[in-house]
Structure 1
Amino acid sequence: MSPAQPRVLYVTDLAYPAKGRRYCDEDIFLSSRLRDDFDIALCHPLDAAALMDSFDAVVVRNSGPVLHYQDRYDDFRDRAARSGTLVHNELTGKADMAGKQYLLDLSAAGHPVIPTIDRYQDIDRLPQVDEYVVKPKLGADSIGLEIVPRDRLDTLEYGGVLVQPRIRFRYEVSFYFIDHAFQYALHAPRPEERWVLEPYEPTAADLDFAQRFIDWNTLDHGIQRVDACRTPDGDLLLVELEDLNPYLSLDLVPSATRDAFVAELKASLHRLLSTAGAAKRAVTVG
């Protein structure tokens, strides 16, 4: 009889209608490959809190925007924290996992981020352009996003929204990480087609750019995606740091890259389990 494998609850909304992506295909593939190392069960995000105590760890993948079920997600987080449930990604992320406040903080600190404000009094901190992007602080998947002209900025209801200049960028590029290690990059060469992605070979400067945000987030166990735009001047600016449930577009990378990603994800989960086990043994001995 083979030894028991760690039990992992894989959280995904297989029916979520994502524009331009198929969440279900990605999660069927990933969960099937993780089964080599773990006993896997898939569940909808609304069922995670009730089921997670029967598993050694919980993997949150393509679970859809949590604002659609915010109370249930908050309950899941609270119960996981109280019970010491191991969650991948860890629930300590400072970026999209906690809302969009980080864009304000990073912008104010001088990081290479699209300039961001949340008060009309700070409008002078933004460059003067014809149009501005207004998005909810707790938004996701472009829900609630609005493009407004400059002369409408004084009519907005500030407090729950962010305002950024509309950047006429050359293209968007995404860098994918597991824990603190870079895995691959994809870019959308046509700005009007955000999810028509192609493999991208990053320069050393590109990787330094992306790594600074991964290091800032101090998330030891999890998958993160750094989304950036290339300005007409050739600079990169952060658009978003997705640290909750980033879609990975694994179907667009070469098979060798996909295999390497799966291997590193397995290793990350084993590290999470072993680190927690070591900590538990230390407490017992102490």
Structure 2
Amino acid sequence: MSSGRPSVLFVTDLSYEARGRRYCDEDIYLSSQLREAFDVALCHPRDAQALMDRFDVVLVRNSGPVIYYPEQYRAFRDHALATGARVFNELTGKADMAGKQYLVDLCRAGYPVVPTVEGVDDLDRLPQSDAYVVKPKFGADSVGLRILDPTQLRGIDDRDVLIQPHVAIDYEVSFYFIDRTFEYALYTPDPAQRWQLRAYEPTQADLDFAQRFIDWNGMRHGIQRVDACRTAEGTLLLVELEDLNPYLSLDSISEQRRLRFVRQLTGALSELAATDLPGR
């Protein structure tokens, strides 16, 4: 029997192990909070396509990199697009959701992005560096990432990879958004400790920087994380725009901000659940 409340299929892999983070803790907390407003069921990403039609909204959270289950993700995505399912994040993302080609495209278009090319033939377009970062276009969680010196770089297989100079930075900073609205920011005082995070109070210039990429992506419904680095010269550069299932580091923010985030997410999901599906 229906409770009369909207239902949410919470897609997560509670067993996924990530370096420096416990995804399961975040999703256990978040799903428990959402139960105050929704009927919530958790499922593994491999089961999402088979279950999604029974729910008002599908919330994709810490489900792990889709490189580990590409066929199931493709089936989920195709089914969602064919049926007009309410998916949060919606499947229109142009950033990490579609691979990392966007970093090359944004760099070419003059956006403030870590300089990025897609092959050794384009190395002359990058600043000279003592080391280069090579990462797969369809990687995640640093899977397949390599740091090479210039002599090593010339001999690589550069199909489906990105190449960036190893940039000297002061710190990394992440900006978190729900439905294109800024929620909070965190930074890494020690760049060598990526997930040792502290609260960051952004300036208006910082917010303008992050909002520019959110506006570029054009996603109406979803959680996005703008990852940037502050260079030694003081400039902010985009590192990644996580628009599929960004880890939120909720344990690194205050209880007040955490509860505000839950309220905002509840409102966003409620709004999405109330929208009409195609053909109804």
Q: Same fold (TM over 0.5)?
A: yes
Q: TM-score, normalised by structure 1?
A: 0.95
Alignment of 1:99-248 (within 5 A): 99-248=99-248
Percentage of matched positions with identical amino acids: 62
Question: Mean alpha-carbon deviation: is it higher for 146-155 or for 31-40?
Answer: 146-155
- 4+ residue runs over 6 A deviation: none
- The separation in 1 between residues aligned to 2:111 and 2:246, in whole angstroms, is 22
AA partner of residue 87 (structure 2): V
RMSD value over aligned CA atoms? Answer: 1.4
AA partner of residue 183 (structure 1): E
Q: Residue 51 of structure 1 aligns with which residue? A: 51
- The separation in 2 between residues aligned to 1:22 and 1:121, in whole angstroms, is 39
What secondary structure sits across from 2:151 in the alignment? helix
- The separation in 2 between residues aligned to 1:222 and 1:2, in whole angstroms, is 26
Deviation of the 1:3 alpha carbon: 5.5
- The separation in 1 between residues aligned to 2:247 and 2:123, in whole angstroms, is 33
CA deviations 1:184-242 (Å, max 9, x no partner) are 00000001100000001111110000000000000000000000000000000000000
Q: TM-score, normalised by structure 2?
A: 0.97
Q: Which runs of 5+ in 1 are unaligned?
A: none
- The separation in 1 between residues aligned to 2:119 and 2:24, in whole angstroms, is 39
Deviation of the 1:121 alpha carbon: 2.2
Deviation of the 1:53 alpha carbon: 1.0
- The separation in 2 between residues aligned to 1:129 and 1:154, in whole angstroms, is 14
Query: How many corresponding residue pairs?
Result: 280
CA deviations 1:86-125 (Å, max 9, x no partner) are 1000011000000001001100000000010012221111
Deviation of the 1:18 alpha carbon: 1.1
Q: Residue 23 of structure 2 aligns with which residue? A: 23
Q: Which runs of 5+ in 2 are unaligned?
A: none
Deviation of the 1:2 alpha carbon: 9.6
What secondary structure sits across from 1:170 in the alignment? strand
- The separation in 1 between residues aligned to 2:249 and 2:12, in whole angstroms, is 15
What secondary structure sits across from 2:192 in the alignment? coil
- The separation in 1 between residues aligned to 2:92 and 2:213, in whole angstroms, is 15
- The separation in 2 between residues aligned to 1:157 and 1:71, in whole angstroms, is 25
Deviation of the 1:84 alpha carbon: 1.5
